[in-house]
Amino acid sequence: MSRLTSWWDALSGPVKFRLYTRVTIQVAVLSAVAGGLSVSARGPWLTVGLVVAGVAAIVALEVQPDFAGRSRARWRRRALPAAGAALAGVWLAFALVARLADSDLISTQASIVSVFAAALGMLSVVAFLRHKWWTVLGISVVTGVVFGSSPFAGLAVAAVTFVIGSFVVATTLVTVWGVRVVDELDRAKGVEAELQVAEERLRFARDLHDIVGRGFSAIAVKSELAVVLSRSGQAERAAVEMDEIKTLAVESMGQMRKLVRGYRGIDLMGEVGGARSLLSAVGCRLVVEGDAAKVPARFHEVAAWAVREGTTNIVEHSAATSAILTLGNAGMSLRNDCPHGTPGERSGLRGLGERLAAIGATLDVAASPEQFALEIHWEKK
């Protein structure tokens, strides 16, 4: 059971929905076959006709790209025409039986099986054709002509077949539309996450430009002034300007280091808010337990780095739907479900461990098929 649940948890949302949809339709087909057997089957040939039509419909649905997703092209090229031919064969065979039978009971049962095969064909094959509604109309007219004992009876049969066919085709189209909407939402989530990353990069580039541009501009201007003063014999003023140039260079380098290390200082509350936003964008709900105020002040920065690295780890190495961040005075933890395999040697976690070791904190990683957890303990004094 644990393997089954792990396999299910590892699937993405769209794949789960597609699998659920496919199984639901196939169960509906099997239920229809079982109902047809209980109502109309009074002989082995009727049973065979209903079973063949049901199996052909299931095969046709199994290889439809909208439901099957990654079905192999060679298998689809062979299976779909074979399933369509089987459904058409059942319809034609039982249409002939209905026309040639001497018994009214046999004729009626054969008619039911033939119409049943036509309905399954509309559900599993016709609904995915380009000119589906004209095909439904054509099948309905032909069915009315074949099974109608009189013009009025034929019109009635054609009308019933068209209504049934239109219903099953419309149902299939709505189902396919739902699958595609889920796929589009999943793609939109991915695009939103990428846009947030791009926005962060732009913010970093803008901050870097502001720091470097302002500092270098000031250095360039003061360097020109120092050159002019030196050439004009004002050595003292030139020395003052050069000292200021040195100060500006040191300040700019310090600001750049601070920017690279933490985007002008890294804030724990800001990282928690950013983590919630980023995880929400990829379909993961973050629950925060505890209070950032309980984290000792000297560990705020490293805790913020842990939140940032843990969030990146969830986005890149899991299909998590929920995560729990716990903050306290003795340590913190970040747990998420649906990890992708074992953690292995990840440079981000290694860097986080080195950063923690520098201040006397420890990092423990716990991984299982169901959960991935980062446990961090502060230095005990």
Q: Which CATH number is 223's domain given?
A: 1.20.5
Q: Where is pLDDT greater, at 333 or 246?
A: 333
Structural domain includes residue 287 = yes
- What is the average pLDDT across 39-46? 66
Cβ contact 118:146 at 8 Å:
no
- What is the average pLDDT across 46-69? 81
Q: Quick check: 137 pLDDT over 50?
A: yes
Structural domain includes residue 6 = no
Residues 110 and 150 placed together within one structural domain of the fold: yes
Beta strands in the chain (DSSP E): 285-290, 322-327, 331-337, 362-367, 371-377
Q: Mean pLDDT of all residues in the chain?
A: 80
Residues 172 and 30 placed together within one structural domain of the fold: yes
The CATH number that applies at residue 273 is 3.30.565.10
Residues 341 and 302 placed together within one structural domain of the fold: yes
Structural domain includes residue 5 = no
Residues 147 and 78 placed together within one structural domain of the fold: yes
Residues 124 and 241 placed together within one structural domain of the fold: no
Structural domain includes residue 199 = yes
- What is the average pLDDT across 17-45? 77
The CA-atom distances, in angstroms, between 134 and each of 92, 126, 148, 168 are: 19, 10, 21, 15
Query: What HEC string does 181-247 produce?
Result: HHHHHHHHHHHHHHHHHHHHHHHHHHHHHHHHHHHHHHHHHHHHHHHHHHHCCCHHHHHHHHHHHHH
Q: Quick check: 334 pLDDT over 90?
A: yes
Model-wide pTM > 0.85:
no
The DSSP letter of residue 43 is: S
Q: Quick check: 18 pLDDT over 70?
A: yes
Range of the domain at 155: 11-185
Cβ contact 320:336 at 8 Å:
yes
Residue 381: predicted pLDDT: 47
Q: Quick check: 156 pLDDT over 80?
A: yes
Q: Quick check: 231 pLDDT over 60?
A: yes
The CA-atom distances, in angstroms, between 269 and each of 212, 237, 276 are: 27, 47, 11
Boundary of a domain, candidates 201, 230, 262: 262
Nearest partner of 340 among 362, 366, 372, judged by Cα: 372
Q: Quick check: 173 pLDDT over 50?
A: yes
Structural domain includes residue 370 = yes
- What is the average pLDDT across 258-267? 63
Confidence grade of residue 288 (pLDDT, cut at 50, 70, 90): very high
Q: Quick check: 71 pLDDT over 90?
A: no
Q: Quick check: 136 pLDDT over 90?
A: no
Residues 273 and 340 placed together within one structural domain of the fold: yes
Residue 182: predicted pLDDT: 85
Q: Quick check: 257 pLDDT over 80?
A: no
- What is the average pLDDT across 269-280? 80
Most trustworthy range by pLDDT among 37-51, 242-256, 340-354, 361-375 = 361-375
Residues 135 and 282 placed together within one structural domain of the fold: no
Boundary of a domain, candidates 247, 262, 277: 262
Residues 216 and 85 placed together within one structural domain of the fold: no
The DSSP letter of residue 339 is: B
Please give the structure tokens belonging to residue 344. Answer: 């292995």
φ, ψ of residue 42 in degrees (nearest 5)? -125, 10
Residues 244 and 320 placed together within one structural domain of the fold: no
Residue with tokens 């913010």: 203
Residues 89 and 179 placed together within one structural domain of the fold: yes
Q: Choose the weakest-confidence range: 247-251, 275-279, 377-381.
A: 377-381
Boundary of a domain, candidates 185, 204, 234: 185
Render 112-130 in DSSP notation, one character per residue: HHHHHHHHHHHHHTGGGST
Q: Quick check: 263 pLDDT over 60?
A: no
Structural domain includes residue 123 = yes
Q: Quick check: 265 pLDDT over 60?
A: no
Structural domain includes residue 2 = no
Most trustworthy range by pLDDT among 29-43, 126-140, 208-222 = 126-140
Q: Choose the weakest-confidence range: 13-17, 162-166, 202-206.
A: 202-206
For residue range 350-366, list pLDDT tens digits in order.
778 888 888 888 889 88
Residues 291 and 149 placed together within one structural domain of the fold: no
Structural domain includes residue 205 = yes
Residues 272 and 257 placed together within one structural domain of the fold: no
Q: Report how many domains make up the chain.
A: 3
